[in-house]
Amino acid sequence: MYRHLHRLSPRFYAHTRLGDIMSRVNNDIGEIQRIAAETALAWFGNVLFLV
């Protein structure tokens, strides 16, 4: 995600408020964490079910 933000054009940063960028980053990271946790729990549950 950092790499993507770093590659955005200066024009993007000129037209987008800092608070909007920070909000998007925080929401995206939170969503990634949620999906990873749900996937890990589902995987672990399936492994236990097989045993």
pLDDT tens, per residue, the chain with 51 residues: 889 999 999 999 999 999 999 999 999 999 999 999 999 999 998 988 887
Output the pLDDT for position 36: 96
Dihedral class, residue 8 (left if φ above 0, else alpha if ψ from -120 to 50, else beta): beta
Q: Which long-range contacts (CB under 8 A, 24 or more apart) does 21-24 make?
A: none
pLDDT of residue 33: 96
What pLDDT is recorded for position 1? 82
Q: What is the pTM of this model?
A: 0.64
- Give the pLDDT of residue 38: 95
Domain coverage including residue 25? 2-50
Residue-level pLDDT at 39: 96
Of 24, 26, 32, nearest to 8 by C-alpha is 24
Number of domains in the chain: 1
